[in-house]
């Protein structure tokens, strides 16, 4: 089980790194688009119609794709006022429980998001805007983002289960990751 987890973790971290790079690059598009809009509006009195829509899509897509990156970096909001008063063993048990709940939640959202994207594709749904963007394009970030979170919650759940049985188990070290 530990060797499977090491390979799974390594694969998932690599995939998350690629998705994180894509999410980061997507944030450059709104930055440059807004500068272009300001120049066109201010200097040439010729505002664009597409900047707000494209910027909104890019930021939204980057947000959904970046969820797993934030999770891996352990930067999601946590309220640990109660956890700091519990024993290490109790915290480990709660980690198993919360990772299971997160896994179920992300799995359900992923399934419904896939259905939403499929329905948009099937019905040819488009945004009621000037660009008439096919809605499946921005919607695809939901099943990708939540699907990746689902895979990470599976990883976390399994690693936490192994840790319950072997308190010395270090998933990062087992996967050959260098400590930061």
The residue segments making up the domain with residue 130 are 1-179
* Token code pair at residue 136: 């499946």
The pTM (predicted TM-score) of the whole model is 0.90
Residue 10: predicted pLDDT: 94
Query: Which residues pair with residue 8 across a beta bridge?
Result: none
The one-digit pLDDT tens for each residue of the chain (180 residues) are 788 999 999 999 999 999 999 999 999 999 999 999 999 999 999 989 899 999 999 999 999 999 999 999 988 877 778 888 888 899 899 999 999 999 999 999 999 999 999 999 999 999 999 999 999 999 999 999 999 999 999 999 999 999 988 888 888 888 888 665
The Cβ-side half-sphere exposure at 54, using a 13 Å CA radius, reads: 16
User: Would you call 92 exposed, middle or buried from its count of C-beta atoms within 10 A (0-12, 13-18, 19+)?
Assistant: middle
Residue 64: predicted pLDDT: 97
Residue 169: predicted pLDDT: 87
Residue 33: predicted pLDDT: 95
- Phi, psi dihedrals of residue 144, rounded to the nearest 5°: -70, -50
Closest CA to 151 of 80, 45, 71, 43: 71
Residue 81: predicted pLDDT: 84
| DSSP code at position 129 | S
* Token code pair at residue 68: 């797993």
Residue 179: predicted pLDDT: 61
Domains contained in the chain, number: 1
């Amino acid at each position: 089980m530990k060797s499977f987890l090491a390979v799974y973790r390594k694969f998932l971290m690599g995939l998350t790194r690629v998705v994180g790079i894509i999410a980061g690059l997507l944030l450059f598009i709104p930055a440059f688009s807004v500068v272009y809009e300001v120049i066109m509006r201010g200097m040439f009195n010729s505002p664009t119609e597409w900047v707000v829509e494209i910027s909104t899509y890019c930021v939204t897509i980057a947000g959904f794709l970046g969820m797993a990156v934030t999770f891996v970096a352990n930067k999601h909001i946590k309220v640990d006022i109660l956890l700091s008063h519990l024993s290490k063993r109790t915290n480990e048990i709660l980690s198993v429980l919360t990772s299971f709940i997160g896994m179920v939640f992300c799995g359900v959202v992923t399934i419904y998001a896939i259905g939403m994207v499929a329905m948009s594709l099937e019905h040819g749904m488009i945004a009621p805007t000037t660009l008439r963007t096919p809605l499946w394009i921005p919607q695809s970030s939901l099943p990708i983002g939540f699907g990746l979170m689902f895979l990470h919650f599976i990883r976390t759940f399994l690693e936490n289960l192994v840790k319950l049985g072997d308190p010395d188990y270090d998933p990062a070290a087992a996967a050959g990751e260098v400590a930061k």
